[in-house]
């Protein structure tokens, strides 16, 4: 979903399915306008290729990247050894709930105590302090949950609050890693729409390995 941009001229009122409302003064239509949220969490199975190329790029200075993309794999194993797996992605808008919190609110609002959960996240950037706190609380109260979090970039890693939040994640049992080039390739192959006419092979950007090493060193220093 493309990021929304404010325009000087107001757009015509639309319903939740995108159709114009002929009479916005009608009470029924007014109710629909009021209930339509200005921002939302976007979910799906595959994200557009241009979003991946911009949002997941592991640049040092992430100018313009003001939302989080979270690709997830959930494996739920029963005591008998049977495994149920699901995957998808979430994208948060700038003023809405963050993708990490939305995952626990919408994708996995409850955990079956009879199952063991292995959840893997591939996120465009590491969590903010508030999202890290939500993850820690969920891990502390859900003993049958294991979380592997792979981040393309570190979010505001120089801030003491963020560093403390990352250490709390580790202490709570969350496995933190910086995405390697092969992780970006995995996301490309499994979570990105393959556009017609474009190469389906992952094409790494020039500094992908260098930037991985940069962030990997920073994370190792923080988690000492």
Active site positions, annotated:
100
Element housing 183 (H / E): helix 181-191
**Cβ atoms 149, 123 nearer than 8 A:** yes
Q: What is the largest CA-CA distance in the chain?
A: 61
**Cβ atoms 62, 125 nearer than 8 A:** yes
Can you tell me the distance from the alpha carbon of 47 to that of 43, in angstroms, rounded to the nearest whole number? 9
Q: Listing from the earlier edge strand, what are the strands of the sheet with 175-178?
A: 41-44, 83-92, 69-77, 116-125, 145-153, 175-178
Which residues contact residue 198 at a Cβ distance below 8 angstroms, ignoring those fewer than 6 apart?
49
């Amino acid at each position: 979903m493309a990021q929304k941009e404010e325009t000087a001229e107001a757009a015509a009122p639309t319903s939740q399915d995108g159709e114009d409302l002929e009479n916005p003064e009608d009470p029924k239509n007014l109710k629909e306008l009021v209930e339509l949220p200005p921002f939302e969490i976007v979910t799906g199975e595959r994200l557009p290729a241009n979003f991946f190329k911009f949002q997941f790029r592991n640049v040092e200075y992430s100018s313009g990247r003001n939302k989080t993309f979270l690709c997830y794999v959930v494996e739920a194993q029963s005591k008998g050894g049977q495994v149920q797996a699901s995957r998808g992605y979430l994208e948060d808008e700038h003023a809405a709930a963050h993708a990490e919190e939305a995952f626990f609110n919408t994708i996995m609002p409850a955990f079956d105590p009879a199952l063991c959960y292995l959840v893997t996240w591939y996120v465009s950037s590491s969590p903010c302090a508030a999202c890290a706190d939500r993850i820690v609380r969920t891990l502390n109260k859900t003993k049958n949950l294991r979380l592997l979090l792979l981040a393309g970039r570190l979010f505001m890693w120089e801030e003491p609050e963020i560093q403390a939040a990352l250490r709390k994640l580790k202490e709570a049992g969350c496995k933190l890693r910086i995405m390697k080039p092969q992780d970006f390739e995995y996301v490309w192959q499994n979570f990105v729409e393959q556009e017609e006419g474009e190469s389906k092979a992952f094409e790494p950007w020039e500094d992908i390995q260098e930037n991985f090493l940069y962030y990997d060193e920073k994370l190792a220093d923080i988690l000492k």
